[in-house]
Amino acid sequence: MMRRFFAPLLAAGLLAGVAAHAEDTLSPLRFQSSGAFGSIDLAAAQRGFAVYQGACASCHGMNGLHYRDLEALGLTPEQVAGIAGSVKLADGSAATPDSRFKQPALVNMGGAVPPDLSTIVAQRPGGTRYIYDFLTGFGPAPAGMKLLPGHNYNAAFPGGQVSMPAVLRDNAVTYADGTKATTAQEAADVAEFLTWASEPNLSARHAVGLRAVIFFAFLTIVAVLTKRRIWRQEG
Amino acid sequence: MQMEAKQGWLASRVPGLGCACGLMREARPPGQPWFNALPVLLGVLLAVLLASGAVVTVYYNPWHAYDSLQGIAREVRGGWVVLGYHQIGASLAFALLYLHLFRTLLTGGYRAPAEFAWMLWVKLLAVLLLTGWLGFVLNGGAGGYWSLMNAGNAAVRLNGFPGAVAMWFLGGPPGGSTFARLLVLHVLLALCAVLVIWMACAAAKKARPMPQGRAVPFWPVYASQYFAALAALALVFALLLGFAPHWGLGGQNAIPAGDMAVPVAISYPWYLTPAAGLAGAFHGVAGHIWAVIAAALLLYALPWLDRSRRHRPGRLYRAFIWLLGLDVLALGVVTAFPMGSLLPALFTFWFFFHFLVLTPLVTMLEAV
């Protein structure tokens, strides 16, 4: 009964949430997934997947994920089937929701191999922020810096030069929810998406952890009080 | 009355049950400190490690170590929690064991008649360090893989009996089947750890003097204390699992092992860093190995290096034990965050100096 009453309200709320433009998380930059109580911003992660698919996937694989995993971002099975169906695998067949993310053909960037992005956020110190800084860190090299052949300047990359060119630009993708696709917005969204990909259980871990901590904190207090009472009587 | 008769009937037939019932009725001296619960907590953590390890082993694939662990975290229902139990259980087990060893040093708990119990606790540390290193390698990450490469290269270079043992242990230079072999050793050593902790507890019980004067029963007096300690441990466990699951585990294992990912310096989990620092302070393969063996032998020999005949250590000796604790901590820190080769050498020197010179000297002075 309650569910029947609340379900339409909930659906309306979700739709409104999806239809609304993303709130400004760029100035100052903040990620909903950061911090002890952080959770994945599903709308941002969905947009981030669009950025990955449009700008990253031609070189970077994500071998740890299946298309069906995207349902955890709030996509319906039909939407996931549509996304998978539009991907042509190496043998010419269309992907299914149970396929792993398409492995791109190996590209050689002057000896560098584009890394798999499944766990990239866990692999780099300050992962989420690093991805954002890296993707927005391209620019002209400072005076006096000599770049290696085939390299590009990047302020966030250790050593300052990297084989990867700047791929994100304004309107590199068109967002389904109408958010303005600036370079910074795309970088922040793909950073949130990759954070989810590295740790799909982040939101659940924080939620379960909080409940467990509250429970055991009370249990500890009660147990210590009980012990003191018993020790006063018998100890 | 009838209940007790039933217990007697069962206890006379089921091995171990009488022991458990006896523990419940056992009289102990009143007012024992919280720290006495450490071995029990350690036993509980070992049980958690065995249970979670059993689940992980079922899904683990030694030929695709990194990918299979990713599969456990992503595809297996609740797999990420079980992996968390295993990682954090290991971390906390080491924390409790280090704490227990430090406290035993500080209170002179290794002195007669508890020498045998002390040696078993040291043996537990050795077994757990080896098991922990194997677990670190079995992750299939870049850090563990290059640590295994170093061990494999060392094994190839060793001659004679040590070389034969090392080759048997690793099965030659690291390859796919090395991980299968190491998995078997990881599980076997974990079972050994259970045996060692049981023997250590039995030896410690034997060394404990019979309570003089007033005695209190285990139930409910110490049961309530142990339960409260267990609840506090669970609280710390939940905090780590929920909010810092990778704390102190060395970030390199997040990177899949491969010949393209070569760490400049291997970042070990925090509990391996003191041993790694000790080994790294000496040159060459033989130097690394002998340093660790010598450190373990010194710990074994401590009851005889200590010349005191009193049970409770004096103030000066306890100050030096605190210094030793800080020294081991610092050794771990400078191994985790390398800052030149001078500090690890200095801290390693102090470790050996403490046991070889300070311990006999200070305890002899205090015995006078």
B77 in contact with A at a CB cutoff of 8 Å?
no
Rounded distance between C-alpha atoms, residue B255 and residue B251, angstroms: 8
Rounded distance between C-alpha atoms, residue A151 and residue A153, angstroms: 7
Query: Domain containing B114: what range?
Result: 33-209+230-268
Distances, alpha carbon B7 to alpha carbons A17, B315, B346, in Å = 64, 49, 59
Same domain, A186 and A226: no
The verdict on residue A112 lying in a domain is yes
Residue in A63, A65, A216 closest to B231 by CB: A216
CATH number at residue B193: 1.20.810.10
Distances, alpha carbon B10 to alpha carbons B1, B23, B217, B219, B332, in Å = 14, 16, 22, 20, 50
B316 in contact with A at a CB cutoff of 8 Å?
no
ipTM score for this prediction? 0.89
Rounded distance between C-alpha atoms, residue B94 and residue B101, angstroms: 10
Residue of B nearest to A196 (CA): B74
- Nearest C-alpha of chain A: how many angstroms from B149? 21
Beta partners for B43? none
B172 pLDDT more than 80: no
- 8 A C-beta contact, residue B129 and residue B274: no
Q: Which residue numbers in chain A have pLDDT < 50?
A: 1-20
CATH number at residue A143: 1.10.760.10
A126 in contact with B at a CB cutoff of 8 Å?
no
Identify the residue whose tokens are 């242990």. B169
Q: What ranges in A52-201 are assigned the alpha helix state H?
A: 77-85, 120-123, 127-135, 183-198
Query: Domain containing A112: what range?
Result: 39-65+100-200
* Closest C-alpha among A212, A211, A223 to residue B236: A212
Same domain, B37 and B107: yes
Distances, alpha carbon B268 to alpha carbons A160, A202, A206, in Å = 28, 24, 26
Residue of A nearest to B72 (CA): A64
The verdict on residue B264 lying in a domain is yes
Note whether A230 contacts B221, CB cutoff 8 Å.
yes
Rounded distance between C-alpha atoms, residue B316 and residue B332, angstroms: 25
pLDDT at B128: 97
Choose the mutation target among A211, A224, A232, A233 for the interface with B, i.e. most B CBs under 10 Å.
A224
- Nearest C-alpha of chain A: how many angstroms from B358? 39
Same domain, B197 and B309: no
Note whether A220 contacts B241, CB cutoff 8 Å.
no
pLDDT tens track for B240-250: 999 999 898 88
pLDDT tens track for B97-139: 999 999 999 999 998 889 999 999 999 999 999 999 999 999 9
Same domain, A124 and A46: yes
Before B15, cis peptide (omega within 30)?
no
Rounded distance between C-alpha atoms, residue B124 and residue B110, angstroms: 15
- Predicted confidence band of residue B6 (pLDDT cuts 50, 70, 90): low
pLDDT tens track for B261-276: 788 888 999 999 999 9
Same domain, A183 and A232: no
pLDDT at B59: 96
Q: Which residues of B touch A116 (CB under 8 A)?
A: 256
- Predicted confidence band of residue B14 (pLDDT cuts 50, 70, 90): confident
Same domain, B236 and B302: no
Cβ-in-10-Å burial (0-12, 13-18, 19+) of B359 comes to buried
Same domain, A142 and A44: yes
Q: Which of residues 71-110 of A touch B (CB under 8 A)?
A: none
Same domain, A152 and A217: no
pLDDT at B225: 94
Note whether A230 contacts B239, CB cutoff 8 Å.
no
Rounded distance between C-alpha atoms, residue A33 and residue A65, angstroms: 19
For residues A200 and B259, which has the higher predicted lDDT (pLDDT)? A200
B309 pLDDT more than 90: no
Same domain, B166 and B286: no
**What rounded mean pLDDT belongs to chain B?**
90
DSSP character for B79? H
Average pLDDT over residues B280-292: 88
H/E stretch holding B238 reads: helix B223-243
